[in-house]
Amino acid sequence: MKRSEPILNVELSNAILLSLQGDFDHPQTPPVQAAVTDRLSLADEIYGLSVFWARAKEIFPFWEQRPMDWDQLFRDHLSELVASGPLELADYYGFLQTFAAFLGEGHTYVRFPAEIQKQWRYPSLQLDPLVVNGDIGMVVSSGELPRGTQLIEIDGIPVWKMVERVASMTSASTPQDRFAKVADTLLRRNQGDSVSVKAILPDGSMVSWRGVAEHMPQPRKYEMQEFDDGIVCVTLPHFQTAEIAASFHNAFPNFDGIKGIVLDLRRNAGGNSGHGYEILKRLVSEPVSPFHVRVPVNAPILGSWSMAERFWLAPQDQYGIYPNFDLPSFAGPVVVMASARTYSAAEDFIVAFKAAKRGAVVGQPTGGSTGQSVYFPLPGGGTGQIVGVWDIDAAGNEFVGVGIAPDIHVTPELIDYSENRDRALDTALATIRSDISQQGG
């Protein structure tokens, strides 16, 4: 899509962005939350809805891509709230989440108050979305039922209805983003609540299962798997802290004996892009300019001058990613694995990786959401979050709201779960080995 020209000059743009350094385009900790209460008045609830509506009008950069009447949606939700409120606090935040989800952006949503989140637990069953017979299904990826088990009902409700219900409250940028998030939250309950499912086992038999929501998801860790032919697969679970780059540096004080590297970002939800770039700096030999950022200019007078949709283009040329010549670098083949759960700063990493023409991306399209958000408190102790920038890659291609397409598309199949096969990793390894062979390794 052809965008408006920037209205701020390059020198000023770069000066502002350089002053932000690592804080730019990386979601920060929300501000101090509003006073916590377990009950809100109708006036408080109307105020919270109004705050989110107004801040979205001010901050959100994607209005041209959203064929909706935001003001009418606000009036509709306001009427519904007046007619049914005040709501219980959890119900009210579910109501706000549904309102925010209309914007269709994964970095734009409503965060429940911490006191409510502290109650959330999960049964011993983890799910993945998977296309089965042409429809999106939910299959067991780990837990007390065998991998590849297909859910049919949850608490007596057809799974497609449950998916539809949760999806309506889920802020997501792409279909793949939405279904991955639904899979991650579909079985979430308050601590101690039971969850019952009916499912089809991999052998085709039916089973009923009941679990209790008493578990918290265990954070994934940095892992490294070594293969006999000099290839290593490094799992980068997040870019939240500097320790993730430190783990990579400690694992590779040099690259002696390493012929190829696979980086697994399939469950990397992001964090701070700078931490990922510290790893990439050891894999490139030339500077990389990863993407450009557009920021909406909120100057009401521009509307009177027919300039209502003006954007400031934040250029990247003066603060790109530069090789780290202080540590040994790796020039051999590299492959990155991605999925719909590859998100935010992890997508920034892949954009830079592709811009550097460093290797192939294997797997599925990424979630399609990145950028710096603006946070603000909401009544009852929750937080609103609205993305305030619009990123495009260095070539001018859209990936927010689309996802980054892999170079080699690999979609898991139902049989892969039951046979415990990692089709994407097998493809990544084959790609690396082919590259090594072509280089005479």
- For residues 437 and 424, what is the distance between their CA atoms, to the nearest angstrom? 20
* pLDDT at 355 exceeding the cut of 50: yes
Return the domain boundaries, the chain: 33-112, 123-212, 223-436
CA distances from 183 to 141, 175, 394 (A): 10, 12, 32
Answer whether 147's CB lies under 8 Å from 138's CB. no
- For residues 369 and 342, what is the distance between their CA atoms, to the nearest angstrom? 9
3-class state of residue 37 by DSSP: coil
- For residues 141 and 395, what is the distance between their CA atoms, to the nearest angstrom? 37
The separation between the first and the last C-alpha atoms of the chain, rounded to the nearest angstrom, is 43
- Tracing tokens 């051999």 back to the chain, one arrives at 332
Estimate to the nearest angstrom the gap between the alpha carbon of 32 and the chain centroid.
24
Answer whether 135's CB lies under 8 Å from 113's CB. no
- Across 296-307, b (16+ Cβ under 10 Å) vs e yields bbeeeeeeeeee
CA proximity to 115, closest of 383, 301, 360, 299: 383
Q: What is the pLDDT of residue 104?
A: 96
CA distances from 387 to 26, 91, 234 (A): 10, 24, 30
* pLDDT at 23 exceeding the cut of 90: no
| Tens digit of each residue's pLDDT (9 = 90 or more) over 143-163 | 999 999 999 999 999 999 999
Report the sign of the C-alpha dihedral through residues 13, 14, 16, 17, in that order. positive
Amino acid at 116: I
Superfamily per CATH, domain 223-436: 2-enoyl-CoA Hydratase; Chain A, domain 1 (3.90.226.10)
Q: What is the pLDDT of residue 27?
A: 44
- Tracing tokens 């409250």 back to the chain, one arrives at 169
Q: Which CATH architecture has domain 123-212?
A: Roll (2.30)
User: With a threshold of 0.85, does the pTM exceed it?
Assistant: yes
The token pair that represents 114 in the structure block: 């911490």
| Tens digit of each residue's pLDDT (9 = 90 or more) over 39-75 | 899 999 999 999 999 999 999 999 888 889 999 999 9
* pLDDT at 362 exceeding the cut of 70: yes
- For residues 96 and 49, what is the distance between their CA atoms, to the nearest angstrom? 7
SS3 labels along 223-246: EEEECCCCEEEEECCCECCCHHHH
| Tens digit of each residue's pLDDT (9 = 90 or more) over 378-401 | 999 999 999 998 888 888 889 999
Phi, psi of 90 (to 5 degrees): -65, -40
- For residues 30 and 373, what is the distance between their CA atoms, to the nearest angstrom? 10
Least confident of 180-194, 229-243, 270-284, 296-310: 296-310
CA proximity to 1, closest of 416, 402, 424, 426: 402
DSSP code at position 222? -
Phi, psi of 247 (to 5 degrees): -65, -40
Helices 273-280 & 243-251 angle (0-180, nearest 10): 20
The token pair that represents 162 in the structure block: 């449950």
Mean pLDDT (the chain, rounded): 89
Q: Where are the beta strands (DSSP E) in 82-205?
A: 109-111, 120-121, 125-132, 135-143, 150-154, 157-158, 189-190, 194-200
- For residues 383 and 115, what is the distance between their CA atoms, to the nearest angstrom? 12
